[in-house]
Structure 1
Amino acid sequence: MLNSILLSSLVFSPLLAILVLAFIPKHQVGAIKQVGVFGTLLPLILALVLFGLFQYGTANLQFVEKYDWISIPLVASQGETLALTINYEMGVDGISMPLLVLTAIIGTLAAVASWQVKKRLKEYFILFHILLIGMLGVFAADNLFLFFIFFELTLVPMFFLIGVWGYGEREKAANKFLLYNGIGSGIMLLAFIVIYLLTQTMSMQELANSSPALMSGLTPELRFGLFLALFIAFAIKLPVFPFHTWMLKVHVQAPPSIVMIHSGILLKMGAYGLLRMGIGFFPEEAYMFSTWLAVLGIINILYGAVLAFVQKDLKMVLAYSSISHMGIVLLGLAAMNTIGFQGAMFQIVSHGFISALLFFLIGVIWDRTNTSMIDDLGGLAKSMPFVSGIFLAGGMASLGLPGMSGFISEFLAFLGLFGNMPVLAAIGALGIVLTAVYLLRAILRTTFGPTPDRFAHLADAQPIEVIPMVFLLGFIILIGVYPAILGNPLQQTLKTIVPIVTGIGG
């Protein structure tokens, strides 16, 4: 009985913190911060419990919940009443389980990073926990309607968290975020509606397991159109060039704790949707599109890396770096084999931890210096040795140093692609060299060299700041030295997708 509600308990557990926050007076700042931070521990504990109970040996959905939810009578036909039926369906497999754990971990550490927020704390943490519900729900949903509801639930709190608590151009960033993501959501909703009308099911598991039979009556053009619609919807979220400009604004203008969530989790919803629905529902169309997917991945990698190299703002360096690293996800998916898919999933989780760490560190530096411009910084290692050391370690992970999570994810993604498209894989590998160049340039110019007089006596990391740094770096190293902790849950689920794809390819 407990297992039958464990997943819903995880998804909706942040409601407890929201209810408590609603009754705390606004002037009790300390209590609000404590509830805001400790309220994320319940979903974290439940996510870890789920991960501990997860069975690696099966590709079936686990912790499944299915209940009658919505039934709308439509028309009477031959004495029978047709109805639009939408069930409440949840479940996790080897793809979604690691992402639920990633969401819970970064959610807790981002809440700790929110300790520095100074205005309208009550509203901030309420919106923060609503956002957490939406993110957990996206990865737990097994129904297109439910997935869409949770997907949309993330947009509203993010809009306000950027627009109210961000920096100088926060309102422009929030509006651009809502515009682009709203368009993507509209395209996704239209695709979902068409899929339901044609297949009479919204169950993601049914659509994935029976996609050849369910889609057999559709014309090739319609199937490819639906795949393309889903690709565009999730490409905006990922983001894929040229749908990336909104993300740059968000990464620069949003507060550090929210950028940790945005870069660490929200971007990954695009990659998850592309694998789960784009490739899962339309494997034949995905296989035909795989070369273009690889080309777009290369564009992302090289475009992001080249522009990251010329940026003068640390935030922009990491924003373009995220674009470049999401290109590696595209290359892994374009490989259309188990190794490539596994590399894509490793990159999704790895980049989640690495980007959250680096953006948190930039927030710490901004808090001390009130700037993130590379030319204004320098020599921070003398006054902030711990922060500078962690910053360098995070940079090493991002450029793929062996022993850290970035290495194993890049290795698997490129290894998978080299088997099918060696020329494109070789071109994409140039991005690894460029990553080392722009990251080392930015980090070394920030932490070494002459120290400006005004930065000579900066405070190093405080205990509340050390917690996210140490834990995020710990997870990065854990995946790097023991990749089986992430690889084991993925194996069986990925095998259910790959035979379909490889069968198409011959």
Structure 2
Amino acid sequence: MGVLGVGLYGSNEPTLNFETSINQSYHVALEIIFYIGFLIAFAVKLSILPLHTWLPDTHREAHYSTSCASITDTGLSGAILQIISHGFIGAALFFLAGTSYDRIRLVYLDEMGGVAIPMPKIFTMFSSFSMASLALPGMSGFVAEVLVFLGIITSQKYLLMPKIAITFVMAIGMILTPIYLLSMSRQIFYGYKLFNTPNSYVFDSGPRELFVSISIFISVISIGMYLDFVLSLSVDKVEGILSNYFYR
């Protein structure tokens, strides 16, 4: 809503062009409203205290069908690639979570277990995208994180200690990601069958669901394997952004 408000304000020709919006003059009260709105939105998205419990509730209630620190060319390319990678992987995980819920009608991890036995296809795809999310080499998440790290290390805007601090914070996230993803996969797919649904009513992915999952997975693998081609599509835009907004 905030983005739409910025794009629609004070113009007969609504636009989402970044350069036009940044040069647009706004009333002071409206700027304050926009600032507070974006601050709350990003605080929820980044799980900042005291709003850190809101995002999981939003994800749980949302239906699955609707639902960087370095200013260098390498770092910005990595950030853009991370956004694209997160879009693919996040969409796939939400889709698989939704298809699983359609079958077992359970949302709490402590009620699940042994789901891999009646639904091996969903288990395989969910595990594959979990590996992609924790940046397994050869997938889009890995190359994106490597580029972001390289952008920080090679940046001339930071001294050694800020680089170490930023890298340390990022490393914490990389450590926590496999902890919660692997723990979640273990509780859902491994162990004993804890849910009380007869096997006759639990069926695996159909052709359409497999087509959607595999199509997204091919995109994730393609970005990881053909990085040079993917970066060549955005290199001019990245250099233009850096030269226009950060190197003036």
Verify same fold: TM over 0.5: yes
Residue identity in the other structure for 1:487: L
**1:264-283 correspondence runs (5 A):** none
**1:324-343 correspondence runs (5 A):** 332=68, 334-343=69-78
Structure 2 vs 1, CA of residues 203 and 394 (structure 1 numbering), >3 Å: closer, same or farther?
closer
Structure 2 Cα separation of the partners of residues 442 and 245 of structure 1? 18
Please tell me whether the aligned partners of residues 383 and 460 of structure 1 are also in contact (alpha carbons under 8 angstroms): yes
Aligned to 2:207: 463
Structure 2 vs 1, CA of residues 349 and 378 (structure 1 numbering), >3 Å: closer, same or farther?
same
Structure 2 vs 1, CA of residues 348 and 462 (structure 1 numbering), >3 Å: closer, same or farther?
same
Bigger mean CA offset, 444-453 vs 356-365: 444-453
Matched, 1:484 2:228: yes
Question: C-alpha displacement at 1:245, in angstroms?
Answer: 6.1
Matched, 1:454 2:189: no
Residue identity in the other structure for 2:61: Q
Aligned to 2:41: 236
Question: C-alpha displacement at 1:239, in angstroms?
Answer: 2.9
SS in 2 for 1:467: helix
SS in 2 for 1:372: coil
Structure 2 Cα separation of the partners of residues 244 and 189 of structure 1? 29
Residue identity in the other structure for 1:393: S
Structure 2 Cα separation of the partners of residues 379 and 354 of structure 1? 23
Aligned to 2:185: 443
Structure 2 vs 1, CA of residues 231 and 391 (structure 1 numbering), >3 Å: closer, same or farther?
same
Aligned to 2:216: 472
**Structure with the largest fraction of strand:** 1
**1:31-50 correspondence runs (5 A):** none
Question: C-alpha displacement at 1:435, in angstroms?
Answer: 0.3
Matched, 1:369 2:113: no
Question: C-alpha displacement at 1:349, in angstroms?
Answer: 0.8
Residue identity in the other structure for 1:404: M
**1:81-230 correspondence runs (5 A):** 181=1, 184=2, 188=6, 193=10, 204=17, 207=20
Question: C-alpha displacement at 1:387, in angstroms?
Answer: 0.8
Question: C-alpha displacement at 1:499, in angstroms?
Answer: 2.6
Please tell me whether the aligned partners of residues 350 and 405 of structure 1 are also in contact (alpha carbons under 8 angstroms): yes
Question: C-alpha displacement at 1:232, in angstroms?
Answer: 5.8
Please tell me whether the aligned partners of residues 134 and 178 of structure 2 are also in contact (alpha carbons under 8 angstroms): yes
Question: C-alpha displacement at 1:354, in angstroms?
Answer: 0.4
Please tell me whether the aligned partners of residues 343 and 410 of structure 1 are also in contact (alpha carbons under 8 angstroms): yes
Structure 1 Cα separation of the partners of residues 209 and 170 of structure 2? 36
Equivalent in 253, 256, 261 of residue 64 of structure 2: 256
Report the identity percentage. Answer: 29
**1:20-31 correspondence runs (5 A):** none
Please tell me whether the aligned partners of residues 256 and 363 of structure 1 are also in contact (alpha carbons under 8 angstroms): yes
Aligned residues: 231
CA displacement, residues 246-283 of structure 1 (integer Å, 9 cap, x when unaligned): 64443111222122xxxxxxxxxxxxxxxxxxxxxxxx
Structure 1 Cα separation of the partners of residues 198 and 221 of structure 2? 31
Structure 2 vs 1, CA of residues 454 and 202 (structure 1 numbering), >3 Å: closer, same or farther?
closer
Structure 2 Cα separation of the partners of residues 480 and 230 of structure 1? 36
Please tell me whether the aligned partners of residues 336 and 501 of structure 1 are also in contact (alpha carbons under 8 angstroms): no
Aligned to 1:29: none
**Structure with the largest fraction of helix:** 1
**Length-normalised TM-score, structure 1:** 0.41
Higher radius of gyration, 1 or 2: 1
Question: C-alpha displacement at 1:187, in angstroms?
Answer: 6.7
CA displacement, residues 367-397 of structure 1 (integer Å, 9 cap, x when unaligned): 1111021111111111111110111101000
Query: Comparing both chains, which one has the higher relative contact order based on Cα–Cα distances under 8 Å and sequence gaps of 6 or more?
Result: 2
Structure 1 Cα separation of the partners of residues 223 and 36 of structure 2? 29
Aligned to 1:295: none
Structure 2 vs 1, CA of residues 375 and 207 (structure 1 numbering), >3 Å: closer, same or farther?
same
Unaligned runs of at least 5 residues, structure 2? none
Structure 2 Cα separation of the partners of residues 374 and 335 of structure 1? 37
Matched, 1:383 2:118: yes
Structure 1 Cα separation of the partners of residues 101 and 52 of structure 2? 24
CA displacement, residues 136-167 of structure 1 (integer Å, 9 cap, x when unaligned): xxxxxxxxxxxxxxxxxxxxxxxxxxxxxxxx
Unaligned runs of at least 5 residues, structure 1? 1-180, 260-331
**Length-normalised TM-score, structure 2:** 0.78
Structure 2 Cα separation of the partners of residues 203 and 435 of structure 1? 33
Structure 1 Cα separation of the partners of residues 63 and 182 of structure 2? 24
Structure 2 Cα separation of the partners of residues 382 and 186 of structure 1? 46
Aligned to 2:79: 344
Please tell me whether the aligned partners of residues 337 and 502 of structure 1 are also in contact (alpha carbons under 8 angstroms): no
Structure 2 Cα separation of the partners of residues 253 and 434 of structure 1? 24
Matched, 1:392 2:140: no
Structure 2 vs 1, CA of residues 446 and 336 (structure 1 numbering), >3 Å: closer, same or farther?
same
Question: C-alpha displacement at 1:439, in angstroms?
Answer: 0.3
CA displacement, residues 52-111 of structure 1 (integer Å, 9 cap, x when unaligned): xxxxxxxxxxxxxxxxxxxxxxxxxxxxxxxxxxxxxxxxxxxxxxxxxxxxxxxxxxxx
Structure 2 vs 1, CA of residues 495 and 230 (structure 1 numbering), >3 Å: closer, same or farther?
farther
SS in 1 for 2:117: helix
Residue identity in the other structure for 2:124: G
Structure 1 Cα separation of the partners of residues 149 and 36 of structure 2? 21
